[in-house]
Amino acid sequence: MPSRPSRKLETFANPSPERDYRVHIEVPEFTCLCPLTGQPDFANLAIDYVPDRRNLELKALKLYMWSFRDEGVFHEAVTNCILDELVAATTPRFMRLTARWFVRGGIFTTVVAEHRKKGWKPAPRVELDAFPSQPSTRG
């Protein structure tokens, strides 16, 4: 049986709920319709989140994204709708959705929406040198 679009977001238990870690997902073929012209709009979506108790299941996410294909919606509205529904499904510590819309009429649009769980504070970022300093061979 072929797959069909679905608005059902499935999740699974976070395998490491004691740790903050980032999950990065890219959706390079997101499509919806312009609500004014009916023409297709294309975007590259990037989802970054720190899970709490639930993680997104990727096949269900793919079918969810597909469900917008024939929907007429503005860039800002669909970005915020998707974020709200992802947050409702997973209740993450943090989630950011970045929607980079392909050019239309000579204009690129990027919409960024975020959610932070009340009281959650990220650990300080640790920066590591890509190439640690080598000892000098000069005297």
Show the domains of the chain with their CATH numbers: 22-116 (3.30.1130.10)
Question: Confidence class of residue 130 from pLDDT cuts 50, 70 and 90?
Answer: confident
Q: Is the pLDDT of residue 117 over 70?
A: yes
Q: Is the pTM of this model over 0.75?
A: yes
Candidates 30, 100, 109; CA nearest to 63 is 30
Q: Please give the positions annotated as active site.
A: 34, 41
Question: Which residues lie below 8 Å from residue 94, measured CB to CB, with a gap of 6+?
Answer: 48, 49, 50, 114, 115, 116, 117, 120, 122
Q: According to the model, what pLDDT value does residue 134 have?
A: 64
pLDDT tens across 43-88, in order?
999 999 999 999 999 999 999 999 999 999 999 999 999 999 999 9
